[in-house]
Structure formats: structure tokens, C-alpha cells
Copies of this chain bind each other. A is one copy, B any other.
Amino acid sequence: MREVIVQGIGQTRVEEHWDRSLRDLATEAGLAAMRDAGVDRIDAVFVGNMLSGQTARQENLGALVADWMGQKPAEGFKVEAACASGAAAFRAAFLAVASGALDAVLAVGVEKMTETSGSETTAALATAADADYEGMQGISFVGLNALIMRRYMYEFGWKHTDFGGFSINAHANGARNPNARLREPITERDYARARMICEPINLLDASPIGDGAAATLLLPAEKVGTGPRPRIAVAGSAAATDSLAVHDRKDPLFLSAAFHSSRRAYAQAGITLEQIDFFELHDAFSILSALSLEACGFAERGQGPRLALDGAIRLDGKLPVCTQGGLKARGHPVGATGMYQIVEVVQQLRGEAGENQLAKARIGLAQNIGGSGASIYTHIFKVE
């Protein structure tokens, strides 16, 4: 296997892009990543996207984006793994470059969610769950996560307010990220009084949808010269699955696919947990932050909220989390989210994270979750 370098990154701001279509967003982020890498021809573009067929009535995104970027006949396909589509597209690109078959490969994550009605979006997002056994009951995606959160609180004795630290941290960091969808800090009081969405999940437990695109340009290490900028290598790339339906899992409070993929990624990178400087985790709902930290080994079972309560996840903490706002504040354009996470890891490792720059950032972790824990991608990046 060839070593793979993330040589270029690009992103649009996450917001309601009324003046830009799906293809415009993908093209803007993709071209930014190519410029950043100093590459003007690509061999392939893999597009992470979940909803375009349902909401934009547009598939065949690989060819569409290649054409719109002026890169045909570069090959390309769409990769879908629900809300983990972004990281899945990154993994497809990584495998292509690692194989030796392709050299310059672009991975773009893109989603446009704000042009459809709320009920349409809710129905489209429910396709991440098991349509025949969950969706047909009428349960929404937030409903499934609410069941998990309630059970978690019951099993481990937490109050709702104990989860507030995750959202407060995310908003604090998002307020300093010019690409974030929500740029207002929030307080404990805001969190406690937020409007209920699906008990116990309130508005400040849930990440906002949005339109956006993020992109990474991958090259084999052998084709990347040494320059003034640090080279960012893919040190670990792993994925695992679990049942789509929450009721089919042995333990609905444990993200087994996060466990499997993280352990494999640690082994590939040859690192221990302690060496990870920060973690871009998938805080679609605050309960997911706790479960992700536990499955990845950063907290004991049932003790995830402790890391938020004691400040360990803040920029100056032991394990900074969601350093650019996470899904909660940067926003969650679902098929793009995993790519935003990777772009943000690279920003930190390069020392280009602006006001959110960490003092120490040599090894970064990104984890992207599709469905309520069904498709999980874990990536580790390091400065060479």
C-alpha cells in the first residue's frame, strides 16, 4: 500500500445557500482543494452525498461534479453511507490512491438540505434508519436518538443538564469559525431552557441541518515534495458496521462499529489513545458525543458526559473535541459532514485553524457516524 497525503483542503461556509446549487457548492469546495494542493488535473472525484436523489432529484453526482469542475473525463461515483457519506467518500479516495491505480483523487462531501420542507427533510433523513422495521413505524431520526438518550440517562443516572457541556463547547468553538452555521456562544441557562424537540433531546442537543460542501485532495506520498507546509498523512483509515435498526443491537448504548473501526485505526497508525491530540467527533446529538467517546476508549462505559463536565473537551483541555464547532455549531449538511471533520483536522495539524488553533496538534482523530451507529468511519491523521 502506498502512503497517502492530504495535500489540499477546501470548504464552503455551512448556511442556507439560496443562491448556490448542489453542483455549485461541490465545485467551489473541490476547486478550492485543488488550488490548495497546487494540482490542476485530477484522476477521479468521489462524491459523498446522502440526499440528492430524494431532494434535488439528481443522481450521477460523480460525473456531474467532474464535469462542472472542468475535469471530465476524470472518473467518479457517488458514495452513500447516510450521515457518514463524507468519510466514506474519503475512504474510497484513500483506497484508490493507496492501491496505486490513481494518483490525484478528490473527495468531495456535499449536501443541500434547506430548499426542501422540514417534513420532506425529516422523511429523507429517516432513510438512514431501517425503513422496513423502524421507518414504517413512523419514527424519525431524532426520535431514535431520543430513545437512546433516555435509556442512557436511566441506565447511568445522568440528568439532562449533564450533557450541556458538549453543546456549550461546540458553540464556543463555532463562534470563532468563519465557516460555521451557528456562530453564537450559548450558556448553561440557554441549554436548560431550549425548546424541546423530542424528549429528552432539545434544540440545543441537536445539530442544525444546512447546505455546504467540503473537499480533500489526496496524493501518494511519493508524488508530494517537501515544502514549507507540513505534510499531513493518513495514518489510519477504518470502517465498521452495525445493525441499522437500534432494536437489533445487543447493546443499543454501545457504538460497536465505533469500537471496531477505532481500534483498527489505532493499530494501523501504531498509536495509543494518549497520543491523540484532539478528536473531531460526530455530535449530531449530544448523546452521540458521549457514546463516541466511550466506544473509542476515552471514557468508561456510561461516563462520557464526565469529559464535558470537567472541561476535558475544551480547546485547552486534555482532549479537545469539535474544535471548529462540530456538527452542533459548524452545522450538519449530512453527506458533507465527514469531509468537514477531516478538513478541520488538517487545518489543526497545519496550524491553520485560526482562532481555534490548538497549542499541540500532531495527531488528530475524526469519526463520522451514519445512521444511529450503523456505519462508522474512523480516520487518523498525523504531521509527518
Chain A interface residues toward B at CB < 8 A: 1, 21, 23, 44, 50-54, 56-64, 66-67, 72-82, 84-85, 88, 91-92, 95-96, 98-102, 123-124, 126-132, 135, 237-244, 248, 256-257, 260-261, 370-371, 374-375
Contact = CB atoms under 8 A, between A and B. Distances in A.
Given A57-B123, A64-B374, A78-B81, 17 more contacts: A1-B100, A1-B101, A23-B132, A53-B80, A57-B135, A58-B130, A58-B131, A58-B135, A59-B82, A59-B127, A60-B374, A67-B241, A73-B240, A73-B241, A73-B257, A76-B241, A98-B100
A4 to B, nearest CB: 10
Contact of A81 (B77, B95, B248): B77
B99 A1 contact: yes
A238 B102 CA distance: 10
Contacts of A127: 52-53, 57-60
Nearest to A23: B132
A241 B1 contact: no
How many copies of this kind of chain does the complex include?
2
Contacts of A100: 1, 98-99
25 contacts: A50-B59, A53-B80, A54-B54, A57-B126, A58-B130, A58-B132, A60-B82, A60-B127, A60-B370, A60-B374, A64-B130, A64-B374, A67-B248, A72-B257, A73-B240, A75-B238, A75-B239, A75-B261, A76-B81, A76-B239, A76-B241, A77-B92, A79-B79, A95-B96, A99-B99
A60 B371 contact: yes
A241 B62 contact: yes
Contacts of A99: 1, 95-96, 98-100
A37 to B, nearest CB: 20
A59 B127 CA distance: 5
A244 B79 contact: no
B375 A77 contact: yes
Given A78-B81, A99-B98, A73 B128 contact: no
